[in-house]
Amino acid sequence: MKLLAGNSNLALAREIADYLEIPLTDASVRRFADEEVFVEIHENVRGEDVFVIQSTCFPTNDNLMELLICIDALRRASAKRITAVVPYFGYARQDRKPGPRTPISAKLVANLITVAGAHRVLSMDLHAGQIQGFFDIPTDNLYAAPVMSADIQARFGDRNLMVVSPDVGGVVRARALAKRLNNAPLSIVDKRRERAGESEVMNIIGDVAGRFCILIDDIVDSAGTLCNAAAALKEAGAEEVVAYVSHGVLSGGAVARVEGSALLELVITDSIAPPDAVRDAKKVRHLPIAPLLAEAIKRIADESSVSSLFD
C-alpha cells in the first residue's frame, strides 16, 4: 500500500500516514509558470495499491485537476489499484437539475475521476447519498457521526440534548446522530430559500424550550442557514445552540457571521484544510478525522469490511 498526497490538505494526509505508520509517497505536485499542474512520482508504484488523498475544496478546479493528473500519472506508472480518497467532494451540491438548462456537475466530476483511471472512491458525508450511484466504480461513503457523537457525549453528555436538522432534507442525517446519542429527541427547522446563498427561517418543528440544541449538517458554506437557525432556536427558548458540520467550506464572510451569531460553538472536521481566518476563529473548533479515514484505507487495502466501522 502507498499513500500519495495532493496539495489540498497535506496536514490531513500526513496524519493519515502517521496513523498507518507508512510514509507518504515521494512525489512532486507543482505548477508551471502558466499554472498548469505537473505531477512527477519519484518512486516505483508498479503493481502497488495506491491511495490518492485530495479534497476538492477551494480552489476547487485546481484541486480537482491535481487529483485527476495524480490518478493519470499512477495509471501510466502501472499501479495495480488506484483509490481516490476525497474527504470533501466538491461539486456535490450540483447533484440534480434545479431548473431548465442547468448541469448535473456532480455526475460530470464522477465521470472525470473514473475516466482518469481511478478504480474506487472513498469519501465522507457526501451531500447526497445518490452521488455514490454517479460512479461506475465502487464508492465508499464514510460518516463523521461516530466522531461527532463521541465528542458530544464527552463535552455535553450531561445536558438536556436535542438534535436539530437545519432543514427538512437533513432529517435522515440528524436522526442517525440522535440515535447514537441514546435516542435524543429530534427537531426540524423549516426554512424557505428565496435564492442561492440566502435562507429565511420560517418556524421550528418540535419543542426546544430548555433544551441544549445540537444543529447537524454536512456542509457550512456562507453559514447563513446555521446562524438563522441558531437565532430561531434561541428565540424559541433553547438553552444553548451548538452546530456540528462535516465540511467547513466557510467562504466569504462566513467566519465573521459565525462569530457574531447565537451559536455557542461551530464544530467542523478537518476534511478541508482551514485558512488562517477559520483557524483563529474563537467559535470554531476542529475534529480530527484522520483515524477514521486511515482505518477505512487500511480495511480497503486488507479487503475487509468498511461498513463495520459504523456498527
Q: Which residues are catalytic?
A: 191
Known binding positions for D-ribose 5-phosphate = 193, 217, 221-225
Task: Write out the H or E segment, with its range, that includes residue 64.
Answer: helix 60-76
Contact by Cβ (8 Å): 59, 53? no
Known binding positions for ATP = 34-36, 93-94
Contact by Cβ (8 Å): 10, 42? no
Known binding positions for Mg(2+) = 127, 167
Contact by Cβ (8 Å): 244, 216? yes
Sign of CA dihedral 141, 146, 152, 155: negative
CA 238 and chain centroid, separation: 27
Contact by Cβ (8 Å): 70, 54? yes
Contacts 24+ apart (CB under 8 A), 104-108: 106/131, 106/134, 107/134
CA 292 and chain centroid, separation: 12
Bridge pairing between strands 120-124 and 139-142? parallel
Amino acid 99 reads: G
Measured from the Cβ of residue 58, the count of other Cβ atoms closer than 10 Å reads 17
Q: Which three cell numbers stand for residue 152?
A: 458530544
Contact by Cβ (8 Å): 74, 28? no
**Phi, psi angle pair for 44, to nearest 5°:** -70, 130
CA distances from 4 to 8, 30, 63, 181, 233 (A): 12, 14, 14, 36, 44
DSSP-derived letter for residue 301 is H
Q: Which three cell numbers stand for residue 105?
A: 456537475
Instruction: Provide the β-strand partners of residue 2.
Output: 50
